[in-house]
Amino acid sequence: MSLARLWPSQDRRQEVYDLVALVYGSFTEGFDTADLQEAKALLSELSVWLDASAELWDEPLAQLIGMVPRWLRTAFIANQDLPAPVRYRFDISSPVEVHEDILVTGAEYQASPSGAEPADAIFRGSTGNYLLLLSGRLQVEQAVASGRLNVEGAPDQAKTLNAWFPGF
């Protein structure tokens, strides 16, 4: 799995997907082991890079949620002009609940559980679309137009999320 995690960073995603899918597909039991669960999560993660219209499988979503802090650290583009901080709120209800705020100040961002502070833009949708959005595989405008996400608040502020977190 270490090699499989290294290759995507070297733009070898298709090779990784093919290799992990081949190995994973050869198993007939043991799918509850940590290694096979990690392999399945990796296949799901890679599939969204290889097919922009891909949907994530429900089973690995909880594990993928755990990767979001790393994705945010990797993807964040600091030092863009920002006259005032922007608070993005994610109110995701299924199949895995996520209630999180991301406050962008320009030079940095802070992710925290949703609080009482007002948000500039509130995103509602499925867990899979939340993950696709934060990994850079889903653009706000396209997601709203296709009905994959609902946005409340300032639409212009919502669209800037992809500029701050363009993906990795």
What are the tens digits of pLDDT across the range 17-28?
777 877 877 788
- Which residues form the domain of 49? 2-54
Tell me the residue length of the chain. Answer: 168
User: Are residues 72 and 47 located together in one domain of the fold?
Assistant: no
User: Are residues 49 and 73 located together in one domain of the fold?
Assistant: no
Nearest to 122 by CA among 86, 95, 147, 97: 86
pLDDT, average across residues 98-104 = 97
User: Are residues 81 and 159 located together in one domain of the fold?
Assistant: yes
Q: Would you state the structure tokens that stand for residue 20, as one six-digit string? A: 């992990």
pLDDT, average across residues 1-6 = 61
- Are the C-beta atoms of 64 and 56 separated by less than 8 Å? yes
Instruction: Give the number of domains in the chain.
Output: 2
Which helix (H) or strand (E) segment holds residue 42: the answer is helix 34-50
How does pLDDT run across 123-166, given as a tens digit for each residue?
999 998 998 898 877 889 989 998 999 999 999 999 999 989 98
Which one has a higher pLDDT value, 13 or 96?
96
Q: Would you state the structure tokens that stand for residue 60, as one six-digit string? A: 């690995």
pLDDT, average across residues 99-106 = 96
Name the pairing type of β-strands 98-104 and 86-94. antiparallel
In a domain, 21, yes or no: yes
b/e burial code for range 101-111 (CB count within 10 A of at least 16 → b): bbbbeeeebee
| CATH code of 144's domain | 3.30.1050.10
b/e burial code for range 38-67 (CB count within 10 A of at least 16 → b): bbbbbbbbbbbbeeeeeebeeebbebbbeb
How does pLDDT run across 40-63, given as a tens digit for each residue?
888 777 776 666 566 777 777 888
Query: Quick one: pLDDT band at residue 11, thresholds 50, 70, 90?
Result: low
In a domain, 61, yes or no: no
User: Are residues 88 and 22 located together in one domain of the fold?
Assistant: no
In a domain, 37, yes or no: yes
User: Are residues 87 and 38 located together in one domain of the fold?
Assistant: no
Give me the pLDDT at residue 44, please: 75
Q: Which residues contact 46 (CB under 8 A, 6 or more apart)?
A: 8, 13, 16, 17, 20
Question: What mean pLDDT, rounded, does the chain reach?
Answer: 85
